[in-house]
Amino acid sequence: MTIQQLFDIQHAILQAPMVGAGSTDLVAAVSNAGGLGATGAAPMKPEGLRAHIREIREKTDQPFNVNLFSPASEMYDQSVKLGTKAKALLEDYHRELGLAELPEPRALFGPAEAQLDVLIDEKVPVISFHFGVEADHVHKIHAAGLKVISSATTIDEALTLEALGVDAVIAQGAEAGGHRGTFLGDYRQALIGTLALVPQIVDAVKIPVIAAGGIMDARGIVACRSLGAAAVQMGTAFLGCPETRIPPLWLSELKRSTPSRTTVTSAMSGKPARGLRNRYISEMESLDEPLLPYSLQYSMSVPLRKKALEIGNADFPTMWSGQGIQLLREIPAGELVSQWVAESGQLSTELAGIAI
Ligand SMILES: Cc1cc2nc3c(=O)[nH]c(=O)nc-3n(C[C@H](O)[C@H](O)[C@H](O)COP(=O)(O)O)c2cc1C
């Protein structure tokens, strides 16, 4: 079965769900163009999530994907406290930006259990999970006649997801922007490039593989299809679309950066993620004491990041980005999908006659 048949879509192009970027307009634009639009719903409270899904449905009658973070990612070691050096650094930042006292650490995402109930109740056609998936969630989603997919960053993770019964696996290469989906072992051993990861996962599993990480245009799409991927999932490539509505500062920093500015760091959220390096990341990383667990670490910089974006200060905000950064096109998402489809067709024809 093709991905198009599995998800009832026209083109094998999935827009990556992106917490902190995107809108119902983006989801609808991609789905209306024949791809699979997606929303990153991890921070949404159940009733807000329900309203969000209904808003998507007002804008498209096509299938779409809603993404959650696995319940396992909500667990953390309660004994870890904010270190004295991190506290002093955050207090300095607050003084510098004229902010009040530091916030209390708090969990920013979930609860996935309650969010999933809304997705099932609203019959969201495709549900995706980052950081792994639970067997009973896969059963619940299938029992409701819906599809479930999840990210893998290693062959072991892909095999684990297949055994849990997901409909397709997203092979997330090291180039990818945003959080590493790693849920087994040390993330540093799971920083495998898309070119190496995709064909090995394709050979290891029987379910369709969706390639992700560094795919920015027809060249990446056709390359991943030739590696055996049934589809691609693209995130960074949509960050320049007007519907994505990332803060202007984030977009302008993306446009003036090269791939070497991206870095995989846990300093921002407490879990490894790829984004643009800035002062906050560098200074937080240089403290020789443990960070707070995910997502408490992330919660400590909420006021700081908000204020920095307001005043145009790039030292502090989160600016997730993949390594394909310089290939961004600032055009509407529907047009982007149509261009990729046309250019991929052309490129495949050209390659049919390639001599090696
Ligand atoms: C700004 C941003 C936010 C992201 N947020 C999520 C998310 O909420 N859930 C998720 O499953 N993946 C998230 N990702 C990762 C994507 O699913 C995907 O792996 C990645 O975008 C692929 O690499 P690319 O950015 O090079 O296209 C995010 C990526 C970016 C760039």
Helix or strand holding residue 15 (H, E): strand 13-15
pLDDT digits (tens, 9 = 90+) for 234-287: 999 999 999 999 999 999 999 999 999 999 999 999 999 999 999 999 999 999
**Average pLDDT over the chain, rounded to whole?**
97
Nearest to 219 by CA among 331, 350, 322, 332: 350
Domains of the chain: 3-352 (3.20.20.70)
Rounded CA gap, 140 and 135, in Å?
Answer: 9
Question: Could you tell me which residues are beta bridge partners of residue 234?
Answer: 15
Q: 221 C-alpha to center of ligand 1: Å?
A: 16
Would you say residue 78 has pLDDT above 90? no
Q: Measured from the CA of 320, which atom of ligand 1 is nearest? A: 1
Judge residue 280's burial from the number of C-beta atoms within 10 Å of its C-beta, 0-12 exposed, 13-18 middle, 19 or more buried: buried
pLDDT of 273 reads: 98
- 123 Cα distance to chain centroid: 22
In this prediction, residue 120 carries a pLDDT of 98
Check the CA dihedral 110-246-124-206 and report its sign. negative
In sequence order, which ranges of the chain are alpha helices (DSSP H)? Answer: 3-7, 24-32, 46-59, 84-96, 112-121, 135-143, 155-164, 194-204, 218-226, 248-255, 279-285, 296-299, 302-311, 333-352
Across 326-344, average pLDDT: 98
SS3 category, 145: coil
- What's the CA angle centered on 88, arms 83 and 89, to 5 degrees? 100
In this prediction, residue 353 has a pLDDT band, given cuts at 50, 70 and 90, of confident
- The number of the ligand 1 atom at minimal distance from the alpha carbon of 323 is 26
Atom 13 (ligand 1): residue with closest C-alpha?
18
Residue in 65, 108, 179, 298 to alter for ligand 1 test, most ligand atoms within 8 A of Cβ: 179
* Res 181 pLDDT > 90: yes
- CA–centroid distance, residue 151 to ligand 1 (Å): 10
CA of 219 to the centre of ligand 1 (A): 19
* H-run or E-run covering 19: none
Q: H or E stretch including 356?
A: none
At 227 the three-state DSSP class reads: coil
**72 residue type, one letter:** A
Hey, how many other C-beta atoms are within 10 angstroms of the C-beta on 252? 12
Distance CA 271, CA 39 (A): 20
pLDDT at residue number 350: 94
The sign one gets for the Cα dihedral 228, 229, 230, 232 is negative
Determine which residue's CA is closest to atom 1 belonging to ligand 1: 320
Percentage of the chain exceeding pLDDT 90: 96
pLDDT band at 168 (very low <50, low <70, confident <90, very high): very high
> Where does ligand 1 bind, in terms of residues with CB under 6 Å?
16-21, 40, 42, 67, 130, 151, 172, 175-179, 212-215, 233-237, 320-322, 324
44, 16 contact by CB (below 8 A): no
Cβ pair 332, 242 in contact under 8 A: yes
Atom of ligand 1 nearest to the CA of 246: 1
* Residue 77 confidence (pLDDT) above 90: no
Task: Please check whether residue 305 is in contact with residue 329, taking contact to mean a CB–CB distance below 8 angstroms.
Answer: no
pLDDT at 240: 98
Instruction: Please tell me the distance from the alpha carbon of residue 289 to that of residue 281, in angstroms, as a whole number.
Output: 14
pLDDT digits (tens, 9 = 90+) for 80-101: 899 999 999 999 999 999 999 9
pLDDT score at 14 = 98
Output the CA 161–ligand 1 centroid distance in Å.
18
CA-based Rg of the chain, rounded to a whole angstrom? 20
Over residues 132-160, the pLDDT tens digits come to: 999 999 999 999 999 999 999 999 999 99
pTM of the model: 0.98
Q: Which residues contact 56 (CB under 8 A, 6 or more apart)?
A: 24, 27, 28, 37, 39, 64
Structure confidence at residue 333 as a pLDDT band (50, 70, 90): very high
Determine which residue's CA is closest to atom 5 belonging to ligand 1.
18
Model confidence band, residue 288 (pLDDT cutoffs 50, 70, 90): confident
**Predicted confidence band at 355 (pLDDT cuts at 50, 70, 90)?**
confident
Long-range pairs for 254-261: beta carbons < 8 A, 24 or more residues apart: 254/319, 254/321, 254/325, 254/328, 255/328, 257/321, 257/325, 258/325, 258/326, 259/323, 259/324, 259/325, 259/326, 261/325
Q: pLDDT value at position 48?
A: 97
Average pLDDT over residues 16-25: 97
Quick: pLDDT tens for 255-270. Answer: 999 999 999 999 999 9
pLDDT surpassing 90 at residue 207 = yes
Distance 100 CA to ligand 1 centre (A): 32
